Amino acid sequence: MTRRLFVVGTDTGVGKTTVAAALLRRARTSGLRTLPFKPASSGGDDPQRLLAAAGLDERMLPRIAPLRYEEPLAPGIAEDPRPFVGEQARDSALGRRGEALLTRIGAELRALEAELRPDLTVIEGAGGWHVPMPGATWLPQWVETFDAPLLLVGRLGLGTINHTLLTLDTLERAGRRPLGFVLSATSSEEDPSTAANPAIIAHASGVPCLGILAHGASTIDLRAGAWDVLLGT
């Protein structure tokens, strides 16, 4: 039975793809079959990095990243910003189009899983939590569609306590308490805040820190028992 894991972030550029790729490599090293899925990608080479981490052929790119946009914007804005503003934002036809898109992409992932039979599917979101997505949808609707446990990724550095706790509070109110969080060092500069941040966030939220991804590292320094938590074992 496939275990799904949905990687969400506190913001864009916090290291979601690097963390997702590290998890895929760790799973492969453990002898697990893996599948990455990036339902909507805009700018950059995130899907290609996930494919490489999973050891899959590059010809799989259109299937593991079905919606791709060139502009480095929120996917929904890259597709068309108009549905998110003005009267169009309340158009019921847009809602039906979004539901149809979510149904289609959800079915495509199920078909991939049925074909490849992965032990672990790692789904990567886009940006933070309140992100406009294709079909005039928002990221929480995609999380609901894939119905996977969440892993939150935040930036390891000054300011992350506020950003991470705000996101955790939002997830809690949405009924989507994550399994835990990973903090990713996106800068090589010395930052005295990094030593205490994981423990402070965990204590304030009750959500465990599962690991730290050092700057430039390809593997996560997981806390004791974290891998079992992520795999649901």
Please identify every residue annotated as catalytic.
38
- Residue 51 neighbours by CB under 8 Å, 6+ apart: 36, 57, 58, 60, 61, 64
Tokens read off for 119:
């032990």
Q: What is the dihedral of CA 121, 122, 126, 127, to 10 degrees?
A: 160
**DSSP string of 16-46, one letter each residue:** HHHHHHHHHHHHHHTT--EEEE-SEEESSSH
Q: Write phi, then psi, for 159 (nearest 5 degrees).
A: 100, -15
- Whether the Cβ atoms of residue 2 and residue 105 lie closer than 8 Å to each other: no
Closest CA to 34 of 115, 90, 117, 101: 117
Degrees, nearest 5: CA angle 177-180-184 = 125
